[in-house]
Amino acid sequence: MVESMNEVKHRIASTKSTRQITEAMEMVQTVKLNRIQGQTVTYNKYVSKIKSVIMHLAQSHLLDNRKPSSSKASDSKKKTAYLVITSDRGMVGSYNSNIIRGTKRFIEEHSPNPDDYVILAVGGNGADFFKKNDANVSYEYRGVSDIPTFSEVKKIVKAISQMYDDGLFTELYICSSHFVNRIRSDFKAQKLLPMDRESIEESMSTGEGIGSEVKTKKLTAEYEVEPSEEEVLNDILPQYAETLAYGAILDAKTAEHSSSSMAMKAATDNAGDLISSLELKYNRARQAAITTEITEITGGQEALNH
């Protein structure tokens, strides 16, 4: 009985130590979540402006006959790339599994033949999963900052754009987690390349980052541009692609921090429940031991009296 009580005491102490760790990790992730949400506000202001410019330029019908960006791949070698954004570490709840499951389903619908697609992985979990499953992982980037900077993402976009220009693939989709609120995130697949009318209108239709005044009022061409509207559009579209990629990674990181915070909260709550259960078990065992001891003393006293 004494040994059993000591084991329970050890488990209580160990669980309390674990709870302190998960509580601290929950606080850290909450701080990161608050910081990245503040950065998202700034990003939304920027993307609202750049989308507004493109939409105004579109009034000149420059997108009507716009051809996809140049790629050395021929039509007979069409291949799709899927940029999968996951985390580098665990302890993020179902965050990674939801992205991987959503990506697999999206690939099965659009590229059922393994020879028709390549994987570009941002985050170690996605890279490791698709490698283990013999997928063609042509690019991987690990160690994205907790609060990603635009310059950091620009390096990723530059590397991927070079692969596109070299003909490794002819179109690109970003597969990631979209942050809805602190308790919910949804899988999202968004076309990034080529930057043609179809993909631009698709991204515009989401309304993300567009101010209400841009979405509601009737737009007219309001800019005087030099040397020409077409050349301005050719310059701004690469910036727009970088902006979409940055937004996707920023959004994914927000969802990651939220999922990690919720996972740590659940672990803390579970630890609390386990501690309560163990303390009840310990108190019962202690009470039983005391009762046994009293019974033995009483029995011994009665034996002496006789």
CB 178 within 8 A of CB 185: yes
Across residues 177-205, what is the average pLDDT?
79
* Percent residues over pLDDT 70 in the chain: 76
What are 91-122's pLDDT values in tens digits?
888 899 999 999 999 999 988 888 889 999 99
Across residues 63-79, what is the average pLDDT?
58
pTM over 0.85: no
The per-residue pLDDT of the chain, averaged, comes to 80
What are 284-303's pLDDT values in tens digits?
877 877 777 777 677 666 66
**Per-position DSSP letters for 81-106, written without gaps between them:** EEEEE--SSS-STTHHHHHHHHHHHH
Backbone φ/ψ region at 203: left (φ over 0), alpha (ψ -120 to 50), beta: alpha
Residue 50 has pLDDT above 90, yes or no: no
| DSSP assigned state of 70 | P
Architecture of domain 32-261: 3-Layer(aba) Sandwich (3.40)
Give the pLDDT score at 196: 66
